[in-house]
Every structure is written in structure tokens, then in C-alpha cells.
Amino acid sequence: MTTTLTSDVNATLQQIAELTAAGCDIVRVACPSQDDADALPAIARKSGIPVIADIHFQPKYVFAAIEAGCAAVRVNPGNIKKFDDRVGEIAQAAKETATPIRIGVNAGSLDPRLLAKHGKATPEALVESALWEASLFAEHDFHNLKISVKHNDPVIMVRAYELLADQCDYPLHLGVTEAGPTFQGTIKSAVGFGALLSQGIGDTIRVSLSAPPVEEIKVATQILQSLNLRPRKLEIVSCPSCGRAQVDVYTLAEQVTAGLEGMEVPLRVAVMGCVVNGPGEAREADLGVASGNGKGQIFVKGKVIKTVPEHQIVETLIEEALRIAEDMEEG
């Protein structure tokens, strides 16, 4: 999701371009004011990826977003004035333009009626809210919906989506909302998405961090690659080091990772601290090093191609990685 003022078209398009370059496939922009709504047509037209308008408070912005040509509109029924009374009109407008609507239920803004009934934002409460809103759209014969039931607790979130997947066939957008700063948020997101995606539940994801949005895309991309839901690119297999290590594995792994950042080919590089497990892992990878006695044995496709002094390990790995990547790109 962008963090710029949506009304600032240039800044928003610039950020969308950065997110796209980082691997984002679909982007959401906030639309809390008329100025933002006025900016949507230009953003939807010029963005290189589909733009979802995020609507809170005012139903009139839903219509503006549909007219603007947004790829979809996200509504949070819990905080849109008299939303239930306007569903018929929204369904009609969305139907005419074949615009999907995402019903985005959030623990923090749950319908007060359901909050009172369930006592708090339980998985059941989140699901009941989402399915109630979906049923209002269904009454108007509108089914082009996607649903999210986000919670900041991955355990509750996972249960909510499991219940939802049992009870409906709508596409689901996954989110661990307000997951926190990068370290905590990354782990919570990986746990929540991993549990659901490995069961085949979930169609789109949003990582939500207290960090710049490009960081969210990097985390999301890694999660999808780790689940083999996106082709893997650079993968560093590095050992945790132990009392047998004969080289500073942490620094080595960091330097190799930094030197190969942005590599676009699926290259597996093993950085191993000794000759116990080192040769085995290094042999399995496209490229690897097994270190020991101040030297590094460099493996390419399972074979030792050379042995270099420790201070040349990083540059040799980077050199070889670039050469292999070039071969891969050509062939």
C-alpha cells in the first residue's frame, strides 16, 4: 500500500513505480478525501500495475473510484457511513463496470453490533461480519467480491481465514494487520501467510509493516518465494556457524548477499563455515564455498573449481555468480 498522499499524483505514481520494481503486482492507495478521489483517474491510468482504491467513511468515494477506472475498490463496511443502505447502488455501479469489490473487515474497526455479540474481534466475529456484508451484495446479485478478515494476531487471523474458506468460495486477500516493526512484522506475516498459503488458502497478500512499503514488498516476495509460489531468485544457503567454523560466516554471508543484491536469476549460493557439512551443501548449490584452514574451496555445479585464500572468497563468489548468471540469461 502506498504511503504518499494520493492527491499528490506524481509522488504516488513514483512510489507505485518503486513498489513495482521491488516485485509488487497490485497496489492499494488510500482515498480519505475528495482531493484523493480526484487524483484516482490519473493514477489508475498511469500506474503500471492494477490500482485498488481504499475507501473509508464516505460512500461517494466508492463511486468515484469505480468511475476512475480503479482495478478494484476496497471498502471497510465497519467505518463507512450507512454502508448497508448504499450496497444496492454500489453493487449496481460496480456491476456496470465489472469492478470487483473487496470487503475488508479489520479487527480494529469491527461492526459494533458484532463486537457486542462476540465480546471482541474473534475469528467468528470477523467471519460473521464479512459474510454478512457479502450477503448484502449477494441480495443485489453481485458476487464479484474478494474478502479479507485481518487481525494483528496471526493465530486469530489464521483461524478466521480457515473458517472463511470453509464457508465461502470468494477469493481471499490475506493480511496480518498492523503486524508491527520490520522484525516482528516479518515473522508474524510469514507465520500467518505460511500457515494459510500452504493449505491453498489465499489469493493475494499484503504484508503490513511499520516500515517503508518497499520493505513490505521485499518481505512478501520472500514469503512467496519460500513457499515456491513465486520463482526463486537469489537464494543464499548459509550455515549458522558453530564451534567448528574456521571462517567468519556471518560477515561472509552478509558480504555475498550484499554483493549479489538484485540478482534476477534463480541462483542458489551456499556459504558454509567448515568442511564438515560445507562440501555437501556447496555441492548441491549452483555455487558455493566450504571454508577451512584460511582457504575456501569454491564449488560450481557440484565440482570444486578452485581453492582461494580466505580474503578472496567473497570476490571470487561474486565473480563466479555473475558469470553463471550471465550464462543463465544467455542460455
Which residues are near ligand SF4 by CB under 6 A?
239-242, 244-245, 272-274, 276-278
Q: What is the spatial distance between Cα 105 and Cα 126, in angstroms, rounded to a whole number? A: 7
The least CB distance from residue 226 to ligand SF4, in Å, is: 21
CA torsion through residues 239, 242, 248, 250, sign: positive
Concatenated DSSP letters of 123-169: HHHHHHHHHHHHHHHHHTT---EEEEEEBSSHHHHHHHHHHHHHH--
- Separation CA 213–CA 223 (nearest Å): 15
For the bound state, the minimum distance from the C-beta of residue 250 to ligand SF4, rounded and expressed in Å, comes to 11
**Residue 48 contacts residue 16 (beta carbons within 8 Å):** yes
**Residue 40 one-letter amino acid:** L
Closer residue to ligand SF4 (CB): 108 or 302? 302
3-state secondary structure of 14: helix
- Is 182 buried (19+), middle (13-18) or exposed (0-12) by CB count in 10 A? middle
89 is in an annotated binding site: no
Task: Give the DSSP letter string of 255-274.
Answer: HHHHHTTT--S--EEEEESS
Q: Is 242 annotated as a binding residue?
A: yes
Minimum gap (Å) between residue 242 Cβ and ligand SF4? 3
Residue closer to ligand SF4, measured from CB, 209 or 272: 272
Q: Min. distance of Cβ 274 from ligand SF4 in angstroms?
A: 3
Q: Which is nearer to ligand SF4, 162 or 235 (CB)?
A: 235
| Sign (positive or negative) of CA dihedral 299, 305, 307, 313 | negative
Q: In angstroms, give the least distance from the CB of 275 to ligand SF4.
A: 7
Taking the least distance from each CB to ligand SF4, the nearer of 68 and 272 is 272
Q: Which helix (H) or strand (E) holds 54?
A: strand 51-57
Q: Residue 168 annotated as binding?
A: no
> Min. distance of Cβ 294 from ligand SF4 in angstroms?
15
Please provide residue 9's backbone torsions phi and psi, each rounded to the nearest 5 degrees. Answer: -60, -45
- For ligand SF4, the closer of residues 197 and 239 by Cβ is 239
Residue 24 assigned as binding residue: no
Which residue ranges make up the annotated binding site for [4Fe-4S] cluster?
Answer: 239, 242, 274, 281
The binding site consists of: 239, 242, 274, 281
